[in-house]
Chains A and B, each alone.
Chain A
Amino acid sequence: MPGEDRDRDWQIGKVHRKVDAMERMRGITRYTDDLKLPGMLHAKILRSPHPHAKILSIDTSAAEAMPGVFGVVTGQDFRIPYGIIPWTPDENALAVDKVCHVGDGVACVAAVDEDTAIAAIAAIKVEYEELRAFYDPEEALANRDRELTINPYARKGNLSKHVVLEFGDVEGSLEGADLVVAGDYFFEGTTHGAIEPHCAVAQVEPNGILTVWSATQVSHYLHRELSKVLEIPPHQIRVIQPPLGGAFGGKSEPFDLEFCVAKLALVCGRPVKLLYTREEVFYSHRGRHPMKMKYRTGFTKEGKITGVSAKTILDGGAYSSFGLVTTYYSGQLLCAPYDFGSYRFESTRAYTNKPACGPKRGHGSVQPRFAIEIQLDKAAVALGIDPIELRRRNDIGSDSVTVNEFRVGSNGFQECLTRVETASGWQERRPSLPYGQGLGVAGSTYISGTNYPIYPNEMPQAAVQICLDRSGRARVFSGANDIGQGSNTMLAVIVSEELGLPLDDIRVLSADTDLCPVDLGAYSSRITLMVGNACLNAAQKLRRKVCEAVAKRWEIPRKRVVLAKRMALDLENPERNVSSAEAFAWAEADNGLLGEVGSYNTPKDRHGDYRGGTIGASPAYSFTAHLAEVDVDPETGLVDVKTIWVAHDCGKALSKRIVEGQIEGSTYMGFGEALMEQHIVDPEHRGVHTGPNLLDYRMPTFLDTPTIDAMIVEAADANGPYGAKEAGEGPLHSSIPAIANAIYDAVGIRLDTLPFSPPKVLAAIEERQRRVEAGELPPHKAERTARRSA
């Protein structure tokens, strides 16, 4: 695997202080909203109060006449549509002829300060003709009235994307099964909730160069779309991503504010900033799609899966966003960690008059994972097989091929199961837990980047440039977006390992399209594997040059020179050493200025040979097992998650504590989705969000969050740098069904609809109780006879 020829680990897998954390903590780091430019104006967007309406006219004259107002733009200034997926350019920076959801941008004002801009947008007169709004995806799909087609770029009614793929004889395998588990599941939509709201600043220089600073996780795609919409060639645009205050997929495509500040900076000749309010963040959304899922799964009496049939409706909201990919992912990413002989999925994404859904951590695959893991749990109960054992029996294993023809390399799933089983005391404790307490398990897998980029091209998927200087330091230039996940530190660790420098001597410059090589961005868990490989490639070239120069002067073979601890050493005689600075100076004397570039491209032999067969294929897959312990109060329906044990196979942890942090943060986020979070608009209130703030949208606090016991499993993958795979998204998935399955173990109810709020849990408990009393069901774990008889 890449990195295998290294001499020894002196940094890989250790605990590191992040290269940029101290500055962030001291309050010195400038995030986008912390930027201040001379003469800077502040912009605000006027947003639609209607879920679905034609725009008949917009009168901006009163706003333009206000003192302190410098410029106003509307949809007419942005007639070129864009979309993060090149095949679905179905949105405009501001609404052109119609609005498609409450919160759709209509006009934008730049003024001397925010108060003036707010007053000015209130002075804009918009005449609307309201249209019937659709909130239910199936109703939207049934619509045949072209007048009521939500998205004007939709080709057919309100259908956004439809995918059907079939592998093997599913119906036959279900007919021949000893047990068929059928279930209907609903995953309510959730949102990202990064604490930093979206923000962008733009400035135009006299030579016409437009600079846009944005809190984005995809600076390259933003660069492309700005160029397209504003009709400015890419070389005249510079996109800079300042340090980012969290993203989780919520900043992974262009938003209205970036186009607006750029256009207004051009119009006004002054720098312009726009900071979303928290409410605007909720309406911009691009969060997890609500999915209605119908599953049938066949099993042999030994618990082996024979086939899976899935039918899914995705509620897409008003725009495509990444929806084409989401629709594929909802089926394509289900085919590990379990081996099944046949599979059919049909996924249909509808446009609705709601904020657009998009990618949230675990894009498109968290919802089906919820469904399948409960299906497995139901089968385990029906067949009398331990749920962990049932999962073991279906493990697809390493170096395998999934039913949809994806090649899986390393696979640590069995070890993940064993680790959570042991740590939780599953075998000893589970049989004796009383009514109200339970343990539940679930497993999952995720991609480490996608094999194909969003827009087709033959160029590398990742590239890194490294320079060394004679003071013994390294500079790393990378287009990758550090969104708080620690990717800058990951690059520094690799350079440190290869060149023997401490992290303090390495400066990482990232996500500036003028200074850094192109990188596609922080999404689909691609950075460690792809950018890490590119960085390793460049660092190894430099290491060879430095070792060569030292070996020449010591008159020993190059292989004997080791770079570590700010020195070059003779492996056979460590007494003989020179400082890194001196070694670099020797190499610079021999080679000229020391700089190398490294590239990475994905293997092209790991996907299926069918239409859509590349979508979801990855160089390497991570694996996860979650095991949750819950305490359910049958009187109130309150679910108290005590502990979640989670074991995650990340291939190789390049930096141990950062990986643990990703596992903990993912598990926490899944926990919040299981019990608390709901991103919904209210049809009774004309499509207004039910609580677009951080109090009503309930994210877990310090007091809500369970103890999370994160364990790292390392099944090194041949495609990853030092064997590394992803850790940022996989460990969210099975957190949710593990809690669902634990609730079943505690009180015998199946919750197939998220989130597991107290009223829902209580209603299910009471319904079960009623059926027990009617003799339709046996009591679950000597069901609180105490309560009813008391």
Chain B
Amino acid sequence: MTQAALLLTMKVNGDPVEVAAPAHWTLLEVLRYKLDLIGSKQGCDKGDCGACTVQIDGVPALACLTLAIQAEGRSVTTVEGLSLGQGPGRVHPLLDAFDRYDAAQCGFCTPGILMAAESLVRERRAPVTRDEAAAALAGNLCRCTGYTKILDAVVDASEQILANVAKGGAGEPSTSEGEVSDAR
């Protein structure tokens, strides 16, 4: 079906992007189908599950409920953006903590949860508490974990980021080896 296409200009994971897409397309469709950024997932396509969560100008947003045109001229960060410029042994403290705590089982909801969690743990003065994390992530469904290990990981990552800042770093990325390093 031919539809009027719009030419959109936005920043995606720091890079300027120009992309043509039908006017009714959502940001999720543009990310997944046009830019091949498949990290953002479609779980329900109606804003119920949170698997498509990205950040627009640093604020979590549901890409399936955001028309692509609404992101015009703005800065979009997807889960792929958390891993950019990070070489061997250097990984975002959230990803590292999720890995150590086995906070991702099937991993389908994880990109969305990471994007919601990143905005929570960023630029904190005190570590995130479990209750804060649960409230901030209540819009993201996970069907595998029972949420326990995700909360463990978010709290741990928050502490890790603050410790990195205290050491004079930018807070991320970290080189945390964690308690499982012996078993690797």
Q: Is there an interface contact between A25 and B111, defined as CB atoms closer than 8 Å?
A: yes
Contact-residue size bin, chain B (C-beta under 8 Å from the other chain):
35 or more
A774 interface residue per 8 A CB criterion:
no
From A30, which residue of chain B is reached at the shortest CB distance? Answer: B38
Q: Is there an interface contact between B43 and A27, defined as CB atoms closer than 8 Å?
A: no
Q: Cβ of A25: which chain B residues have Cβ within 8 Å of it?
A: 79, 95, 98-99, 104, 107, 110-111, 114
A27-B80, A661-B105 known; A194-B143 Cβ under 8 A: yes
In the assembled complex, the CB of B102 is this many whole angstroms from the nearest CB of chain A, namely: 4
Of listed A17, A197, A669, residue having the most chain B CB within 10 A = A17
Q: Cβ of A116: which chain B residues have Cβ within 8 Å of it?
A: 1
Of listed B32, B102, B151, residue having the most chain A CB within 10 A = B102
Q: Cβ of B41: which chain A residues have Cβ within 8 Å of it?
A: 31, 33, 195-196, 245
Q: Cβ of B133: which chain A residues have Cβ within 8 Å of it?
A: 702
A658 interface residue per 8 A CB criterion:
yes
**Complex-state Cα separation, A278 to B41, whole angstroms:** 13
In the assembled complex, the CB of A733 is this many whole angstroms from the nearest CB of chain B, namely: 15
Q: Is there an interface contact between A14 and B183, defined as CB atoms closer than 8 Å?
A: yes
B106 interface residue per 8 A CB criterion:
yes
B126 interface residue per 8 A CB criterion:
no
Q: Mark B103-135, 1 if CB is under 8 A from A, else 0.
A: 011111111001000000000000000000111
In the assembled complex, the CB of A653 is this many whole angstroms from the nearest CB of chain B, namely: 12
Q: Is there an interface contact between B48 and A694, defined as CB atoms closer than 8 Å?
A: yes
A657-B149, A702-B137 known; A119-B1 Cβ under 8 A: yes
**Complex-state Cα separation, A664 to B183, whole angstroms:** 23
B140 interface residue per 8 A CB criterion:
yes
Q: Cβ of B141: which chain A residues have Cβ within 8 Å of it?
A: 193, 195, 694, 699, 701
Q: Cβ of A695: which chain B residues have Cβ within 8 Å of it?
A: 46, 48
Q: Is there an interface contact between B45 and A665, defined as CB atoms closer than 8 Å?
A: no
B67 interface residue per 8 A CB criterion:
no
**Which residues of chain A from 640 to 670 have a CB within 8 Å of any chain B CB?**
657-658, 660-661, 664-669
A-B contact number at CB 8 A: 197
From B142, which residue of chain A is reached at the shortest CB distance? Answer: A195
A214 interface residue per 8 A CB criterion:
no
From B151, which residue of chain A is reached at the shortest CB distance? Answer: A702
**Complex-state Cα separation, A477 to B3, whole angstroms:** 46
Q: Mark A19-31, 1 if CB is under 8 A from B, else 0.
A: 0011011111111
Q: Is there an interface contact between A11 and B183, defined as CB atoms closer than 8 Å?
A: yes
Q: Is there an interface contact between B99 and A21, defined as CB atoms closer than 8 Å?
A: yes
A18-B102, A661-B105 known; A668-B146 Cβ under 8 A: yes
In the assembled complex, the CB of B44 is this many whole angstroms from the nearest CB of chain A, namely: 4
**Complex-state Cα separation, A193 to B108, whole angstroms:** 12
B82 interface residue per 8 A CB criterion:
yes
Q: Cβ of A702: which chain B residues have Cβ within 8 Å of it?
A: 133-135, 137-138, 140, 147, 150-151
Contact of A664 among B3, B37, B146 (CB under 8 A): B146
In the assembled complex, the CB of A115 is this many whole angstroms from the nearest CB of chain B, namely: 5
Contact of B49 among A22, A243, A660, A694 (CB under 8 A): A694
**Complex-state Cα separation, A666 to B145, whole angstroms:** 8
Q: Cβ of A660: which chain B residues have Cβ within 8 Å of it?
A: 102, 149
A399 interface residue per 8 A CB criterion:
no
Q: Cβ of A602: which chain B residues have Cβ within 8 Å of it?
A: none
Q: Is there an interface contact between B106 and A244, defined as CB atoms closer than 8 Å?
A: yes
How many chain A residues touch B (CB < 8 A): the figure is 69
Q: Is there an interface contact between A26 and B49, defined as CB atoms closer than 8 Å?
A: no
Q: Is there an interface contact between A705 and B147, defined as CB atoms closer than 8 Å?
A: yes
From A658, which residue of chain B is reached at the shortest CB distance? Answer: B102
**Complex-state Cα separation, A137 to B45, whole angstroms:** 34
A440 interface residue per 8 A CB criterion:
no
In the assembled complex, the CB of A293 is this many whole angstroms from the nearest CB of chain B, namely: 26
From A655, which residue of chain B is reached at the shortest CB distance? Answer: B102
Q: Is there an interface contact between A33 and B145, defined as CB atoms closer than 8 Å?
A: no
Q: Cβ of B110: which chain A residues have Cβ within 8 Å of it?
A: 24-25
A113 interface residue per 8 A CB criterion:
yes
Contact of B45 among A18, A28, A192, A277 (CB under 8 A): A277
Q: Cβ of A484: which chain B residues have Cβ within 8 Å of it?
A: 105-108, 144
Q: Cβ of A192: which chain B residues have Cβ within 8 Å of it?
A: 143
B166 interface residue per 8 A CB criterion:
no
A612 interface residue per 8 A CB criterion:
no
Q: Mark A192-217, 1 if CB is under 8 A from B, else 0.
A: 11111100000000000000000000
**Complex-state Cα separation, A56 to B85, whole angstroms:** 61
Contact of B143 among A24, A30, A246, A502 (CB under 8 A): A246
B75 interface residue per 8 A CB criterion:
no
Q: Cβ of A30: which chain B residues have Cβ within 8 Å of it?
A: 38
B40 interface residue per 8 A CB criterion:
yes
Q: Is there an interface contact between B183 and A195, defined as CB atoms closer than 8 Å?
A: no
A693 interface residue per 8 A CB criterion:
yes
In the assembled complex, the CB of B53 is this many whole angstroms from the nearest CB of chain A, namely: 12
Q: List 29 A-B contacts (CB under 8 A).
A: A15-B100, A16-B180, A17-B99, A22-B91, A22-B99, A25-B95, A26-B83, A67-B1, A192-B143, A193-B141, A194-B108, A195-B41, A195-B51, A195-B141, A195-B143, A196-B108, A243-B106, A246-B108, A246-B144, A278-B45, A657-B101, A658-B102, A668-B147, A669-B143, A693-B46, A695-B48, A701-B139, A702-B135, A703-B135
Residues of A bordering B, CB below 8 Å: 11, 14-18, 21-22, 24-31, 33-34, 36, 67-68, 112-113, 115-116, 119, 192-197, 243-248, 275, 277-278, 483-486, 502-504, 657-658, 660-661, 664-669, 693-695, 699, 701-703, 705, 707-708, 710
Closest 7 interchain pairs by CB? A27-B39, A484-B106, A245-B108, A24-B107, A668-B146, A694-B48, A664-B146
